[in-house]
């Protein structure tokens, strides 16, 4: 099919490349002309494993192009994916400004060209948004508004887009479902077909539930620290129950990223606007907000205060294998350490330049051991493999004091103790 993907960020670009790999003819559209220029020159503007190579191969085959307007190749599209950002607005609800701007563009371009098409909302949007878009496009009779939320994860985005766990389609007409059947022919995952509103809620519910699991484990980790128990073994013991499962039970410094923080507050707002208090979700957010403070407190206690102490922070992106620092939990930790007079050094394989713009007072080094040199303590904030698999002898030799805070419970606790480090994890020691 001919597909236009509007918005070529994390979701849009991975969607465009994966659909082209599945044999569709795709054009990626973005208002950011600099980004479009870069894409046309075959440069991937984001770091995502395997994406640039895959993008180049589908461009070489002629299945993927880029443009800055809907008025070109996109005019022929059977399916228009909307993949623009829906960031948090001042009151926490999703800001739909970018999305409605696209809807205006779609109206302007396709109203006079009445061919059956799907207008597919992939951006994460509050329940009722699809209905609103359908109203706005009401006089464009051949445009079918469909909800098709995205569940890909950064760091494995292309693989997730190519092999999704499920495809959720919310639509209100047989014609709309049949367009999506044609598009996703050849995908082997389960398909959930429902109304637009239910599809929209599935997306928020999924993210809120995953965030809930993490905050539950983080709160339990606080108790585990006091009890002297091991949260990792607790998680393993829980996860072997098939009703619970092992995923998303990892305690740490909290969840970050462009989705869980904004989607949990957006869902709270959906609840509020509909007169329903989502009290569990409120606590999920509160535990996540205070988790970095809780971690800094552990470091402070171990070092006997933070003023003048040298702390090396390893990993800055919100998770490994991405350059994305949005809502990364390393940031409030760095802020607090600096506020209390600590001298901070930091390392990340990809995100140092972006973080340096926010925290120029931190020293950055391309080499982990240079970052660790002279440190009174090292904190693992993001479990990049480069930051996890250290030469412990070398690390101990360069640090001023052998003190480790494992904010991701990813360092080998028994091994590092054998090397003479004082080790503290999150809910484990």
For the chain, give the number of residues: 429
Q: Is 95 exposed, middle or buried (0-12, 13-18, 19+ CB in 10 A)?
A: middle
Q: Is 88 annotated as a binding residue?
A: no
CB of 203 to ligand NAD, least distance (A): 7
Residues that bind ligand UPG (CB under 6 A): 124, 150-154, 207, 210, 214, 248-250, 252, 255-257, 259-260, 263, 318-319
Of the candidate residues 23, 101, 277, 358, the single one contacting ligand NAD (CB under 6 A): 101
Q: Which of the choices ligand NAD, ligand UPG, none does residue 252 contact, using the CB cut-off of 5 to 8 A by kind? A: ligand UPG
Q: Is 248 annotated as a binding residue?
A: yes
Distance of CA 262 to the CA centre of its chain: 10
Please, which residues bridge with residue 29 across strands?
6, 67
Please, which residues bridge with residue 247 across strands?
none
SS (H, E, C) 47-111: CCCCHHHHHHHHHHCCCEEEECCCCCHHHHCCEEEECCCCCECCCCCECCHHHHHHHHHHHHHHC
- The rounded distance, in Å, linking the Cα atoms of 253 and 217 is 11
Closest CB to ligand UPG: residue number? 259
Crossing angle, helix 279-303 and helix 260-273, to 10 degrees?
140
CA distances from 73 to 203, 243, 274, 391 (A): 31, 48, 41, 53
Please, which residues bridge with residue 229 across strands?
none
Of the candidate residues 48, 52, 67, 154, the single one contacting ligand NAD (CB under 6 A): 154
Contact criterion met (CB below 8 Å) for 407 and 251: no
Of 51-59, 80-88, 190-198, 303-311: span binding ligand NAD (CB under 6 A): 80-88
Q: Choose between 177 and 255: whose C-beta lies nearer to ligand UPG.
A: 255
Q: Choose between 86 and 288: whose C-beta lies nearer to ligand NAD.
A: 86
- The rounded distance, in Å, linking the Cα atoms of 379 and 299 is 9
Neighbours of 314 (CB within 10 A): 27
Q: Choose between 318 and 347: whose C-beta lies nearer to ligand NAD.
A: 318
Q: How many residues lie near ligand NAD (CB under 6 A)?
A: 26
Indicate which residue of 83, 140, 259, 387 is catalytic. Answer: 259
Instruction: Based on the shown chain and the rule CB under 6 A, indicate whether residue 73 belongs to the binding site for ligand NAD.
Output: no
Query: Is 189 noted as a catalytic residue in this protein?
Result: no
CB of 259 to ligand NAD, least distance (A): 5
Of 6-14, 191-199, 221-229, 273-281: span binding ligand NAD (CB under 6 A): 6-14
- Identify how many contiguous H helices and E strands the chain contains and give both numbers: 17, 14
Q: Is 428 annotated as a binding residue?
A: no
Contact criterion met (CB below 8 Å) for 53 and 90: no
CB of 38 to ligand UPG, least distance (A): 22
Where are the alpha helices (H) located in 304-367, listed in sequence order? 330-339, 352-358
> Going by DSSP bridges, is the β-strand pair 191-194/167-170 parallel, antiparallel, or unpaired?
parallel
Which 17-36 positions form the footprint of ligand NAD (CB under 6 A)?
29-32, 35
> 């506020």: which residue's tokens?
339
Q: Choose between 7 and 425: whose C-beta lies nearer to ligand NAD.
A: 7
Instruction: Based on the shown chain and the rule CB under 6 A, indicate whether residue 179 belongs to the binding site for ligand NAD.
Output: no
Q: Which of the choices ligand NAD, ligand UPG, none does residue 219 contact, using the CB cut-off of 5 to 8 A by kind? A: none
Question: Which amino acids are annotated catalytic?
Answer: 259
Residues that bind ligand NAD (CB under 6 A): 6-12, 29-32, 35, 83-86, 98, 101-102, 123-124, 150, 152, 154, 258-259
Binding-site residue positions: 30, 35, 86, 124, 151-154, 203, 248-252, 256, 262, 319, 326
């Amino acid at each position: 099919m001919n597909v236009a993907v509007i918005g070529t960020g994390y979701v849009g670009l991975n969607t465009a490349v994966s659909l082209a790999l599945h044999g569709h003819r795709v054009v990626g559209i973005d208002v950011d002309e600099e980004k479009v220029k870069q894409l046309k020159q075959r440069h991937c503007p984001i770091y995502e494993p395997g994406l640039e190579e895959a993008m180049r191969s589908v461009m070489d085959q002629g299945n993927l192009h880029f443009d800055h307007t809907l008025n070109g190749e996109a005019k022929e599209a059977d399916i228009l994916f909307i993949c623009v950002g829906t960031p948090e607005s001042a009151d926490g609800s999703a800001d739909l400004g970018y999305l409605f701007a696209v809807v205006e563009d779609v109206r302007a371009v396709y109203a006079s060209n009445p061919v059956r098409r799907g207008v597919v909302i992939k951006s994460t949007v509050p329940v009722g948004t699809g209905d609103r878009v359908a109203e706005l496009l009401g006089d464009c009779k051949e445009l079918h508004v469909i909800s098709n939320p995205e569940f890909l994860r950064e760091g494995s985005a292309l693989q997730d887009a190519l092999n999704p766990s499920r495809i959720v389609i919310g639509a209100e007409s047989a014609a709309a479902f049949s367009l999506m059947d044609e598009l996703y022919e050849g995908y082997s995952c389960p398909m959930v077909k429902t109304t637009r509103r239910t599809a929209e809620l599935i997306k928020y519910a999924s993210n809120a539930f995953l965030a809930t699991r993490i905050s539950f484990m983080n709160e339990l980790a606080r108790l585990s620290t006091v009890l002297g128990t091991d949260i990792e073994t607790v998680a393993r013991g829980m996860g072997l129950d098939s009703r619970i499962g092992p995923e998303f039970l990892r305690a740490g410094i909290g969840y970050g990223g462009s989705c869980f923080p904004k989607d949990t507050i957006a869902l709270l707002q959906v609840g509020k606007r509909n007169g329903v208090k989502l009290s569990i979700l409120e606590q999920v957010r509160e535990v996540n907000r205070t988790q970095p403070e809780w971690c800094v407190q552990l470091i402070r206690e171990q070092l006997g205060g933070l003023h003048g102490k040298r702390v090396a922070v390893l990993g800055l992106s919100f998770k490994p294998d991405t350059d994305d620092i949005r809502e990364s939990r390393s940031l409030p930790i760095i802020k607090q350490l600096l506020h209390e007079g600590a001298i901070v050094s930091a390392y990340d394989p990809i995100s140092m330049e972006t973080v340096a713009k926010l925290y120029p007072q931190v020293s950055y080094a391309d080499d982990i051991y240079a970052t660790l040199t002279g440190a009174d303590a090292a904190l693992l904030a993001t479990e990049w493999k480069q930051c996890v698999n250290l030469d412990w002898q070398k690390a101990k030799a360069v640090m001023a004091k052998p003190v480790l805070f494992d904010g991701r419970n990813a360092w080998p606790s028994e091994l590092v103790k054998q090397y003479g480090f004082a080790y503290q994890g999150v809910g484990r020691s």
